[in-house]
Amino acid sequence: MSGGSALLRAILEGIVAALSPKQKPRSHGGSAGGGGSSPRNAPVAKWRNQASRQPSEPSPGQAGGGATRDLTAAELRAMRPSYAPSLDGEPDPGEVIWTWVPYVENDGRGKDRPVLIIARLDAGAWAACYLSTKQHRDFVSVGSGPWDSQGRESFLSPERVLRVTGDGMRRESMGMDRAHYDRAVQAVKRWHGLG
């Protein structure tokens, strides 16, 4: 077997292992880009059971009553951030989860991506901000963690605060450390002029 074939096989096996719900997820400790800190032994990646989901069905959070959307001004003012991660398969403030995030144009397009839950809104909805591995103007570093398969530093957009439902969550990644959570919440409050 040539070196290229062996490398391709190793990559494919890694992808299959990472996506298999039967495998126990691995924690990515340490930091990337000098800004991150992830607990080395933090439990990560509780996958929702999607065995019954057909490929033609929308991603969780993409459509219907559980669709991810931007918060209204009233929801923003009523938001009460509180750090309370509990890796129990449900979203909690201080956790990074995966959901569908619509593009700002609201034209039906979007992307499945990690978001940081910053507050509970009601019994079935949470406020969250999306993460990107690209630094953009006014984005705040939240370090690195297993939500990024390459362990890259992530940045939170304080401008868009999203409403995420339990039905809209695809998977729970991990709890973010308190210092990065607090920095993210302060950036959101500054951006939106919240006290």
Buried b (16+ CB within 10 A) or exposed e, 46-75: bbbeeeeeeeeeebbbbeeebbbbebeeeb
- Distances from the Cα of 82 to the Cαs of 85, 98, 126, 133, 187, in angstroms? 9, 20, 11, 25, 15
Which tens digits make up the pLDDT trace of 19-52? 654 433 333 333 333 344 444 444 444 444 444 5
Could you tell me the mean pLDDT of each successive run of 10 residues in the chain, 195 residues long?
61 62 37 39 44 58 77 93 87 90 81 93 92 94 91 95 85 84 96 90
SS (H, E, C) the chain: CCHHHHHHHHHHHHHHHHHCCCCCCCCCCECCCCCCCECCCCCCCEECCCCCCCCCCCCCCCCHHHCCEECCHHHHHHCCCCCCCCCCCCCCCCEEEEEEEECCCCCCCEEEEEEEEEEEEECCEEEEEEEECCCCCCCEEEECCCCCCCCCCEEECCCCCEEEEHHHEEEEEEECCHHHHHHHHHHHHHHHCCC
What is the average pLDDT score of the chain?
77
The total number of structural domains that make up the chain: 1
Give the C-alpha separation, 122 to 45, whole Å.
Answer: 24
Tokens of 146: 């297993």
CATH number of 176's domain: 2.30.30.110
∠ CA 189-73-190, rounded to 5°: 15
Which tens digits make up the pLDDT trace of 123-139? 889 999 999 999 999 99
- Domain encompassing residue 98: 3-192
pLDDT at site 44 = 46
